[in-house]
Amino acid sequence: MGTTYHWPALVTLAALALVFGCVVYVGRMRIKHRVRAPATTGVAEDFDRAFRIHMNTLENFIIFVPALWLAAIYFSPRIAALIGAVWVVARIWYTIAYARNPRSRGAPFGLAFAAWGALMLIAAWGLLTSPLW
């Protein structure tokens, strides 16, 4: 039995997989460069980048998920999922770009930011135009 909410749920799982991938990446860099906890900076540039990628992803994830679900509930699950998928792809691109060269992260950051903004706008529109008001 499927519902249209399976699409945003699938995007949520993809975003969770992205965060998990960042955890694994930081762990691998910690082992590779022998960065002992609780150190988080100044030991190896590769580790510093991996750690910042993870923290930046977490910072964005925490605002992405509520925006995704509000947009799905109050506007359209399928449109929210489509925009959410753009966010996930942009954050994967961001991760790869930042790991290779931190200066190259601008375009994927902008795309993810635009997707998040679109989710916020359609969530607000859907909520403010809902018959409950």
Per-residue pLDDT averaged across 128-132, rounded?
Answer: 87
Q: Between the CA atoms of 56, 18, 84 and 69, what dihedral angle is there, to the nearest 10 degrees?
A: -90
Q: In this model, does residue 132 exceed pLDDT 90?
A: no
In this model, does residue 40 exceed pLDDT 60?
yes
Rounded Cα gap, residues 132 and 22, in angstroms: 40
Percent of the chain at pLDDT above 70? Answer: 97
Residue 115 has pLDDT above 60, yes or no: yes
Q: Set out the domains of the chain in order of their start, with CATH numbers.
A: 6-37+44-127 (1.20.120.550)
Question: For the residues 40-52, what does the mean pLDDT come to?
Answer: 88
At 44, is the secondary structure helix, strand, or coil? coil
Q: The whole model's pTM is what?
A: 0.92
Query: Who contacts 112 (Cβ-Cβ below 8 Å, separation ≥6)?
Result: 60, 86, 87, 90, 91, 94
- C-alpha–C-alpha distance, residues 53 and 115, integer Å: 18
Please work out, in degrees rounded to the nearest 5, the angle formed at the alpha carbon of residue 69 by the alpha carbons of 64 and 72: 125
Give one DSSP letter per residue of 10-33, joined into a string: HHHHHHHHHHHHHHHHHHHHHHHT
pLDDT at 111 over 90: yes
Q: Terminus-to-terminus CA distance in the chain, angstroms?
A: 32
- What's the pLDDT band for 1 if we cut at 50, 70, 90? very low
